[in-house]
Structure 1
Amino acid sequence: MRKYKFIDLFAGCGGLEDGFLQTGFYDCVSSVEWLKPQVDTLRKRLKEKYGVTDADEKVLHFDIQREEELFNGWNNDAQFGSSFGLDYYVEKAKGIDLIIGGPPCQAYSVAGRVRDENGMKDDYRNYLFEHYLSVVKRYRPKAFVFENVPGILSAKPNDKKIIEIIEESFKKNGYIISKHIRKYGIIDASKYGVPQKRKRVILLGVRTDLGDENDLYNIIDTFYEKLLPKYQQKEITVEEAIGDLPEIRPIWDEENRSRNKAYVYDESVDRHIPRYHNLRDMNIYKMLAEDIELGNNKYTNAAAITKIYEKKVGSKSPIHRYHVLRKDEPSTTIIAHLYKDGNRFIHYDSKQARSITPREAARLQSFDDDFKFIGSQGSVFQMIGNAVPPKLAYAIGKAMKEFLDNFEEKRDTNDSLSIYT
């Protein structure tokens, strides 16, 4: 069976890539990521799970903004070492079919804009998509899959929405996306076996010389309407996802606590290690979880939680700081902020009085238990929060295989694209 070849940009620890590879329909020619713990994690995964013996070379640890070196290679860089560059791997593969990935989302997120005094308008990450476009322009894949937060549809760093700039930039260079992306493009991961309410924008772009432009617009929309929904699964709750992990027991006695250990846990379970919490926070977590367990629900609205924060912590906050995960629902969106604190991801079991562990966050993102993360606890929380859930990526990969197959059949038979219209 012919496998489609792709490049993964802004790869992170490889959630999107992992889902595509799990389908068995793809080979990754090369990946690009600039954060070292993420690079180390992805390389380890590729070697141990998929037998990619040259993963250390094919996963490029580099800054995508340095385009000339990215394409042609670099030597003895103090931060990034040496590499042959993307051209080498694309030429070796005799071309690619697909580019996947998504620039960092912080500049587009609504929360980020609220916190930043200039609404993220001065953030260089608004325009990192231009480097994604440069790679697309250079290697001319049949299609690309571009993932980001829903805020990308409303972000307006200057006098025009960024989504309009992206659409126009790609069209100028021979690629189109749906004209109805606000209608079709927002995908809820919880519908695809991910135990988490996580909405993300998926932009599918297609090279315009592959067919009549009107036909191409129609089949792009059909990807969203018919192909991707075929891979939806039943909703999975938090308890179904993490309830079988070993219980973690808090240490309430000050004499038995240490500066780094506030819980007793099974150290044999990979990354199922709680972060340290002081007694004040542990008591807050216990109280909030008990409130839900007992059905009192006194602290489930923002105003009540804000009051708790002000009373217990002694300072005011413009946003409510705490949230207990509901065991009988999918999780709220797992975010990279977890690396700073876990206050918005409190375990539903009041007896455990804690926030979630990296392994629990990974499960809520649909990473398999054999996915081994490399780095500090903070960097692992960050990479998990920034990742594309592999189960969502798996569904996109399956749907993209059908999508790309149609172009292969058209090329072989000279038929129209009417199978989708």
Structure 2
Amino acid sequence: MYKLNTIELFVGCGGLLDGFEQSGHYNTLASVEWQKYACETLINRLQNKYKYEDAKDRVLHFDIQRTEELINGWKDDEIYGSNEGLNKLVNARKVDLIVGGPPCQAYSMAGRIQDKDGMRNDYRNYLFESYLRVVDIYKPKIIVFENVEGMLSAAPDGENIVDKIRRGFNDHGFDIINDIRSNALLDLSEFGVPQKRKRVILVGLNRSYFGDQSQNQDTLGYFYNTILPSYKSDAPPTVRDAIGDLPKLYPAEADYREAGRKFSHFPPTTEKNWHKPRYHNRRDIEIFSILAKDIQCGENKYHSIENLKKLYTEKTGKTSNIHKYYVLRWGETSNTIPAHLKKDGLRHIHPDPEQARSITVREAARLQTFEDDFEFIGSMVQNYEMIGNAVPPEFSKRLANAIYELLETKRLL
């Protein structure tokens, strides 16, 4: 089987990459990521799962904004060490595909609401420019650019960021679909992900391989409306499908310590990697139990936002303009798994009232479709963040297969 050579940018812990590797159609030449613990997680995965003996060489711990150094090599004793650069690693091989999605916080609605300047001054708004500089150097057949729905309305300097990205792709000889919202805004729950998660998936076609702009709009329309939909599931998996078989973690009668760490639930760990209970105080445990029981018995007293806010005030003595809590439903998809899980799990409460807790790292990983043999090499906080920032590997695998099918159709393999 012919394998396509890929470069991954903003790779994180490798959710997008993992799906491409699972498809069996791709060879990862290099991956770029600036967070060290994410790089360590990815190196571990490439070595142990996909048997890349030189995984440490293929994963570049570096800041993509320093593009010239990334390409030609760098020496940075304080943070990134030294490396001969991406050109040396690629070693004159043809790059068929460049994949990645810049950090989404600057484009997300939540980020804009929370930031006093609406994220207008956030440097991450323009990381796509670094992405395009790498694209311009290696000129792949196809590029894949992933981001949040909020990207469609983000306009940090008054111009819609999508228009900037489209112009950038065009200037570098690539075409993306004209009507992004109708075609490229995807509900990932339709692709085997047990989670409500909408993402913009931009596929860019290199005119040198695919033809002129008019032809490429026809090709992209065929991809989004015929090829990609053929990889959808008949029905989305549910929370029960994803996490229902994991060992139960019950509240202890009192807090206790093990290996220097404070626990509120037992057992403190299970044979499943990172199925460890997060610590919760007694007040939160009581609230979680009340909310989950309310759903389980069908009373739905706390179905309304106002009643959730009242409960928060009754139990904490504080007020909030937004509701703090959400309980996952066994028979439905989960709400979106965000990087914010690293701070608290109040919006991701386990549906079993007897367990009265938020979801574990492993449960979050399963809702993101990471396999159980995917090991996260970080602290609990870092692992929640990596998982929340990732593209679900199950969706990524289907996307990878769809792109391969497109190239087969166009006889570009």
For the aligned pair, the TM-score class normalised by the smaller chain equals: over 0.9
1:302 matched residue in structure 2: 305
Against the structure 1 CA distance between its residues 91 and 408, is the aligned structure 2 distance closer, same or farther, given a 3 Å change threshold? farther
Deviation of 1:317 (Å): 1.7
- 3-state SS of paired residue (1:322): coil
- Residue type at the aligned position of 1:104: P
1:349 is aligned to 2:352: yes
Q: Distance in 2 between matches of 1:333 and 1:69?
A: 36
Alignment of structure 1 residues 309-320 onto 2, 5 Å: 309-320=312-323
Spell out, residue by residue over 1:253-273, the C-alpha distance to the aligned partner (whole angstroms, 9 max, x if none): 368999711111253221000
2:43 matched residue in structure 1: 43
Alignment of structure 1 residues 258-407 onto 2, 5 Å: 260-265=262-267, 266-407=269-410
- 3-state SS of paired residue (2:407): helix
1:157 is aligned to 2:159: no
Is the 1:339–1:381 Cα contact (8 Å) retained in structure 2?
yes
How many residue pairs get aligned? The number is 409
Deviation of 1:408 (Å): 3.3
2:135 matched residue in structure 1: 136
Is the 1:325–1:346 Cα contact (8 Å) retained in structure 2?
yes
2:99 matched residue in structure 1: 100
TM normalised by structure 1 equals 0.95
Q: Distance in 1 between matches of 2:83 and 2:406?
A: 33
- Residue type at the aligned position of 1:375: G
1:20 matched residue in structure 2: 20
Against the structure 1 CA distance between its residues 117 and 52, is the aligned structure 2 distance closer, same or farther, given a 3 Å change threshold? same
Alignment root-mean-square deviation, CA: 1.5
- Residue type at the aligned position of 1:216: N
Is the 1:252–1:279 Cα contact (8 Å) retained in structure 2?
no
Q: Distance in 2 between matches of 1:206 and 1:281?
A: 50
1:8 matched residue in structure 2: 8
1:414 matched residue in structure 2: none
Is the 2:64–2:70 Cα contact (8 Å) retained in structure 1?
yes
Point out the more displaced range, 153-162 or 301-310. Answer: 301-310
Spell out, residue by residue over 1:180-209, the C-alpha distance to the aligned partner (whole angstroms, 9 max, x if none): 111101111111111111110000111122
Q: Distance in 2 between matches of 1:159 and 1:345?
A: 35
Against the structure 1 CA distance between its residues 350 and 3, is the aligned structure 2 distance closer, same or farther, given a 3 Å change threshold? same
1:416 matched residue in structure 2: none
Q: Distance in 1 between matches of 2:123 and 2:254?
A: 48
Deviation of 1:3 (Å): 0.5
1:419 matched residue in structure 2: none
- Residue type at the aligned position of 1:77: D
Point out the more displaced range, 373-382 or 297-306. Answer: 297-306
- Residue type at the aligned position of 1:238: V
Spell out, residue by residue over 1:209-255, the C-alpha distance to the aligned partner (whole angstroms, 9 max, x if none): 22132111111121110111111113100011101000101113368
Deviation of 1:90 (Å): 2.1
- 3-state SS of paired residue (2:31): strand
Is the 2:239–2:334 Cα contact (8 Å) retained in structure 1?
yes
TM normalised by structure 2 equals 0.96
2:238 matched residue in structure 1: 237
- Residue type at the aligned position of 1:295: G
- 3-state SS of paired residue (1:50): coil
Point out the more displaced range, 382-391 or 294-303. Answer: 294-303
Segments of structure 1 that go 5 or more residues without pairing to the other structure are: 412-421
